[in-house]
Chain A
Amino acid sequence: QKEVEQDPGPLSVPEGAIVSLNCTYSNSAFQYFMWYRQYSRKGPELLMYTYSSGNKEDGRFTAQVDKSSKYISLFIRDSQPSDSATYLCAMSAGYSSASKIIFGSGTRLSIRP
């Protein structure tokens, strides 16, 4: 079993829809959770960074962490064609600069105009 599971998609939704992206994990030691957006042929861009359980909102993006279920989500409201990209979840147990970060396989998202 992989430490982090993420549906690769592709996920296609119409413009303006609410998008829900999810990851599950098996290591209960994970405490730091991140979502990255990666456009084709570019490096991943940090979208959201949360610690422990709860919600965090930034503009049209909301990250949720449910540690009891080992489940994290990223919601995108009022989705735009420019949101079309691959979204990677990532998590780590420690907070030091050397803590290993485990990535999901990424979900390819396409927003139809």
Chain B
Amino acid sequence: GAVVSQHPSRVICKSGTSVKIECRSLDFQATTMFWYRQFPKKSLMLMATSNEGSKATYEQGVEKDKFLINHASLTLSTLTVTSAHPEDSSFYICSAKGTENNSPLHFGNGTRLTVT
């Protein structure tokens, strides 16, 4: 089945630094990728929709200058958490849909970010 690879799986950084998370579709092309945030025992919260070759669309309340998204190719999207703070600590998950209509959504394995 379709595979979405997310890297790193776990990262610890200091306050004020920036962290980049990569999301790759390994065996299919994805014009659209999605970035989610998940708090413990809570459901997925959509942060932004990443479109290949254009600007990402952010959900209400998500700071686009803080969560920079780049979708440089049909198989790679990156999320950069800039000037990270402890409240940014969370589980970040990316997902991707194939370019064909009716393609289901496949998820990466998530990145556990801890900001100290």
Contacts and interface: CB of A to CB of B under 8 A. Distances in A.
A106 B43 contact: yes
Interface string B81-105: 0000000000101010111111111
B26 to A, nearest CB: 14
Interface in A42-82: 42-46, 49, 51
A106 to B, nearest CB: 5
Nearest to A4: B43
B2 to A, nearest CB: 8
A18 to B, nearest CB: 25
Given A43-B107, A45-B107, A51-B102, A98 B43 contact: no
Interface in A71-113: 88, 90, 95-98, 100-101, 103-106, 108
A36 B36 CA distance: 15
Interface residues of A, number: 25
Interface residues of B, number: 32
A44 B42 CA distance: 13
A97 B110 contact: no
A90 B93 CA distance: 16
B69 to A, nearest CB: 14
Contacts of A88: 43-44
A64 B25 CA distance: 29
Interface in B1-60: 1, 4, 6, 30-32, 34, 41-44, 46, 49, 51
A44 B4 CA distance: 11
Nearest to A105: B43
Interface of B: 1, 4, 6, 30-32, 34, 41-44, 46, 49, 51, 91, 93, 95, 97-110, 112
